Structure 1
């Protein structure tokens, strides 16, 4: 009877912990989605305005003709196109983030609607009443000790699961950051050729192609870090430790990197600075991964200690 109650309690405890984790993640992700939608919409309005400026400048007018005769028209048009392109890159990044977060919210909602979480609160209340009745009839020091060991084991296994998920997310973040830095290495080499060795039109086109490709890799790194951040929040709740990534460098990377990126004299410096920022974030992730590995080893040792305590009681 006691073992049956304990098995059901362990199962329900694990489900309840998982349910709370999913609910919290859903709340956090929904809030991020709302903020990102606002940013995307703001960028869309800004992009529309920039595109209208380009169209207006392209239309015939006496003012435009005078600017063209004085050589200012080409300069103005180039500036307007560059500004529109910069905003377009930021808007595209925000749209990708909205799609990612929308899919994440939908997945979390579907997870919470699974049968495992139906009537879980009612089942828990019924179990507590049944267990209370059993303890009143069968109270003993040994039973109380075994109960505490069992409760501690559930707690530690829950922490181990959270740390494992966070560690896996960290590995994905490290791979994504490495991919982004590799792409920027390529862009930096081409930029050096173009800036200092006079690469010409073809090299300039190749440079901007690499920059556009870097945008996708940086986005993947941002997405991986966002997931890592969420998993670390779960670990902090479970392990009462502080695990924080100084992610500001990369989460503001797109805004900073693509400002005036089409001004040739700034490109090489921006790429070099961008690599340094990504490297700093990567080192931060590695430090946290090492801490997670040490924490996981300590929890695994605690499980072995609890198992030995239980064996000692049962065999005595």
Structure 2
């Protein structure tokens, strides 16, 4: 039984490795093909331009007449024909390259299709042998159990970090939107200070209202981020409240004084935004760093588990 399991494991591992190699080759071929297609499109345009230059000199165009009068038509025509031939050769070459790369891509795709289940077959063979070793009271079986438990714990950490990462980026985008809106409000506010009129004032307060609405959304996202990072003991707070009374006073009391009050609040809110963006960015970096560490540990333990099974 053990010999049969080892044979199956050897076969599936060979296919697993071949699949990885073919995947890498296919990505490289597809990248090269994309580059060649872009080059082909560029050279096609150059070829068309060179052909147009030659046609202009060979025909009865103003360009041809101009060079004929100057006595330089033949010399100019010879130069344009040389450039046309060079462009044609380059264009033909890249067409051949595209065709060759297309063939490579199709060949690799066909080869991959024949072993598309190599990953799952290899993992199934590993699992079957691991079950056999555990059922037969092997020392390796006990070691496998320990490694499997460690991988399970780290996988749970990985999931939590992924979720925290997503929540962090979502919060960051929300705060950056507020900062953009406040920057627009500040611009309208500056204009308003110099007598921009009712429309300018309305535009400024429209942006302020938008920022307040965005702040509520950002607050929810920050709280979610805090919850996801609770284990990391990260605590983030943001408050972008802008006093509604200042908006009221802006219309009905001394406009200049009220405007300066609102303008200072806008600038204060922008500063708070920048500070919070810095805090969130730092937390995301810490999260990314820990996530990479966890992923590396999982990969190391997974490889250790495979080696234990394969060599037992």
TM-score by length of structure 1 reads: 0.50
Q: Deviations over 1:223-259 (max 9, x none)?
A: 21121112112xx1xxxx43x1431xx2x322xx226
Q: 2 CA distance for matches of 1:303 and 1:202?
A: 60
Of 198, 202, 207, the match for 2:199: 202
Asked whether the 8 Å contact 1:245–1:285 carries over to 2, the reply is: no
Which residue does 1:22 correspond to in 2? none
- Whole-angstrom distance in 1 between the partners of 2:273 and 2:185: 14
Partner of 1:185: 183
Counterpart pick for 2:297 among 299, 302, 310: 302
- The equivalent residue for 1:169 is 167
Q: What is the correspondence of 1:146-157 to structure 2 with a 5 Å cutoff? A: 146-157=144-155
- CA drift of 1:305 comes to 1.1
Where does residue 210 of structure 2 map in the other structure?
Answer: 213
* 2:297 is the counterpart of 1:290: no
The alpha carbon displacement at 1:200 in A equals 2.2
Question: Aligned pairs, how many?
Answer: 169
Shift of 1:138: 5.3
Greater alpha carbon shift after TM alignment, 154-163 vs 203-212: 203-212
How does 1:1-316 map onto structure 2 within 5 Å? 139-195=137-193, 197-233=194-230, 236=231, 241-242=232-233, 244-247=234-237, 250=238, 252-254=239-241, 257-258=242-243, 260-262=245-247, 263=249, 264=258, 265-316=260-311
Q: Which runs of 5+ in 1 are unaligned?
A: 1-134
Aligned-residue RMSD, C-alpha: 2.0
Aligned-pair CA distance for 1:207: 1.6
TM-score by length of 2: 0.51
**Structure 2 segments unaligned to the other structure (5+ residues):** 1-133, 250-257
What's the CA shift for 1:205? 1.9
Runs of 4+ more than 3 Å apart:
137-140
Whether the aligned pair in 2 keeps the contact of 1:176 and 1:220 (CA below 8 Å) is yes
